[in-house]
Structure 1
């Protein structure tokens, strides 16, 4: 990691962008501020940041669209969404479009900084260890490419689906608590994250239903177990 951690910040409220920029720069970050989705994507290409902070509602392209563009090229770079929306579905949509985390406005700078460090540490700890293929029953799970292959047919996973499946496989045949999964992947076990986890578990079950020896079972209100 470089001496200064480079971040692209996409925020169209100048006063908020300035506060975030100045706060992060006191913590050894280099912040490139952009005001719309096009600028954010262009800065990602030209500046090669280590993390992006994207406002969801922006001119030209919204944060979800920018994240989708980036995910076509880079599955690993951390993306944090800033959103004024608070509905559960909005949060789920954010993860579905490639986000790693989200913060609802208003938020504290300390919380943003903690979330940034948590995501950067996770990327650093995972480097060089996740490029192999994993056999889950009759499936081949490629974490790096975010894909599941069964009988020659490949299905692409979202970033969050791949993260949840990787975590469940790391504790396969053992019950793992919801709280543990949420804190490891989302960084917080609050209600909205819990609802998001339920959605991803449901989607993974459907994608793993071709092999009857592979199951994700749950202990209601406690946790999940991947049997394979």
Structure 2
């Protein structure tokens, strides 16, 4: 079986060597020291997962993640950063990242995250399905898009899978643990914060339709209320 191919972008040569050396025991690792060269490679090659430093020359990690997401909504993205502010983590997640590890990190933890996301990327790929109506919107899970009139709103793979789960359980309480385990493969705290970001974005998309609500059920989970 062929090894999974990882795009790794880090401008600290020592850290890049140590991390690449460890990861190459399990994966094919393609390393770049700046965001521009990494994105040029991403446009030409297929990668199974991306690991991005935030502070990069020429194109920083946030800009790189946004550019990657414009071309590919499904590939998992992990940020590695010395920036510890909550705002930076939230910004990364809003760009469609799957996780945000703070430096210094352990190689064991990074490999664990990689395995979770590689397995999850196979689990959450939407099955062949037809578009469905929710309020005044049409949701096309196969193409990760919500349509209202002439407007098309693109979703990430995870957002699309989350909305599909809500619609399949419409007007029914979904426990946080169930959502996290089905879509993230784990129910740890930080994945819960990631889920909250995606739910917040879905709420903003539907905010102008009063017939659609994603209700927070305290200490239990969420419920999609829709006709």
1:128 offset after TM fit, Å? Answer: 6.0
| CA distance 1:154–1:126, shift in 2 (3 Å) | same
Change (3 A) 1:197 1:125: closer
Paired residue secondary structure (2:71): coil
Match of 1:4 in 2: 3
Q: Give 5+ residue unaligned stretches, structure 1.
A: none
Structure 1 residues 163 and 132: alpha-carbon distance in aligned structure 2, compared to 1, 3 A threshold? same
Residue aligning to 2:18: 19
CA offsets, 1:164-199, max 9 Å, x none?
323323432221223443454454532x55444444
Aligned to 2:39: 41
- The answer (yes or no) to whether the contact 1:65–1:97 under 8 Å persists in 2 is no
User: Displacement, 1:99?
Assistant: 1.3
Question: How far does the alpha carbon of each residue in 1:21-48 deviate from its partner, in whole angstroms, 9 at most, with x for none?
Answer: 1111112x11111101012112212332
Superposed CA RMSD in Å reads 2.5
Partner residue, 1:58: 56
| Structure 2: tracts of 5 or more residues without a match | none
| Contact 1:96/1:160, CA 8 A, preserved across alignment | no
In the TM superposition, residue 117 of structure 1 has moved relative to its aligned partner by 1.6
Provide closer, same or farther for how the CA distance between residues 102 and 131 of structure 1 changes in structure 2, counting only shifts above 3 A. farther
Query: TM-score w.r.t. structure 2 length?
Result: 0.85
| CA deviations over 1:191-220 (Å, ceiling 9, x no partner) | x55444444433322322343332211212
Matches within 5 A, 1:110-129: 110-127=108-125, 129=127
1:87 to 85, 88, 92: 85
156-165 or 47-56: bigger deviation: 156-165
Tell me, what secondary structure is at the counterpart of 1:72?
helix
Measured after TM superposition, the shift of residue 224 of structure 1 is 0.4
1:105 matched to 2:135? The reply is no
Structure 1, 179-188 or 147-156: larger mean CA deviation: 179-188
Which of 150, 153, 165 is matched with 2:151 structurally? Answer: 153
8 Å contact from structure 2 (residues 120, 183) kept in 1: no
State which of 173, 176, 185 in structure 2 corresponds to 1:175: 173
TM-score, normalised to structure 1's length? 0.85
Alignment of 1:196-211 (within 5 A): 196-211=194-209
Distance (Å, rounded) in 2 between the aligned partners of 1:152 and 1:46? 32
Does the 8 Å contact 1:88/1:195 carry over to 2? no
- How many corresponding residue pairs? 225
Moved over 6 A (4+): none
